[in-house]
Amino acid sequence: MIVMDQGENKSQPPQVPQEPAQNSETPEEGNAKKVELEELPPFEVVEGSRIPASSFKFQFKNVEYSSGRNKTLLCYTIERGEGQVFRGYLEDEHVSAHAEEAFFSNVLPQFLTSGPVRVTCYVSSSPCITCAASIARCLRKNKTVKIRLVVARLFQWEESEIRGALRGISSAGCQLQMMKSADYSHVWQNFVEPDIVLNEEGEAEQNSEAGDFIPWEDLEENSLYYEEKLAEILR
């Protein structure tokens, strides 16, 4: 989700296969294909409390060209009155269900029954047009909600419609920021779990990366690059 990488297809709907005009298959072949289609996994959004370290490092890396990073990870903190804090994360399993839209349409409304709510979302890339509309709609309907969206990369930021969508959620009251080292460390400590590996005896053990977050070499440089682009968009 980033500077125009064609491998990232966040906002494109899945293609529906068309039935061929002529069917040259035997009945057995046709039945086999029907069974295969029925066994495909459903479109869904995965929810949890902790992200595997390897997944976090790959999906949240703020590189300019994000080949293969075709899903969105969203880590959220919801704060309500009397010190109540709720945390979790969502990720896209397929392109038809985006983590941001699922969170703002299905998860967050469960916490809006009474009193003000403060929401912070750390997202691997900025929202597409549809997800931005869900965020703006949530803010318009719920005046006591404060939302801060902290993103690792900007999704297709050169597209005029995407730029307009980002300005739209900003004008609706969403605080939009790029992730910096401190944000990565916060997510690492609160939302990431060390990868489990097998030793020579086949026993599970934690990877040695269970300590503090170690930033990659160009993290701050890339963050500043995106920060300048975001300021340009919201100007």
- Domain boundaries of the chain, sorted by first residue: 42-234
Condensed to tens digits (0 to 9), the pLDDT of residues 75-119 reads 999 998 778 899 999 987 655 668 898 899 888 998 988 789 999
Q: Active-site residue among 47, 100, 205, 217?
A: 100
The fold for domain 42-234 equals: Cytidine Deaminase; domain 2 (3.40.140)
Condensed to tens digits (0 to 9), the pLDDT of residues 60-80 reads 999 876 667 778 899 999 998
Burial bucket for residue 46 (CB in 10 Å: 0-12, 13-18, 19+): middle
Q: Round to whole Å and give the CA distance between 39 and 29.
A: 16
| Weakest mean pLDDT among 2-11, 128-137, 167-176 | 2-11
DSSP 16-57: PPPPPSS----HHHHHHHHHHHHTSPPP-EEEES-EEHHHHH
pTM of the model: 0.75
| Weakest mean pLDDT among 25-34, 52-61, 183-192, 219-228 | 25-34
Assign 162 a pLDDT band (cuts: 50, 70, 90).
Answer: very high
For residue 47, indicate whether it is catalytic: no
| Residue 205 confidence (pLDDT) | 57
Condensed to tens digits (0 to 9), the pLDDT of residues 181-218 reads 999 999 999 999 886 665 666 555 555 455 788 899 99
Rounded mean pLDDT of the chain?
Answer: 78
Q: What is the residue whose two structure tokens read 């293969």?
A: 68
**Segment 156-164 mean pLDDT:** 92
Helix axes of 219-234 and 181-191: crossing angle, nearest 10 degrees: 110
Assign 172 a pLDDT band (cuts: 50, 70, 90).
Answer: very high
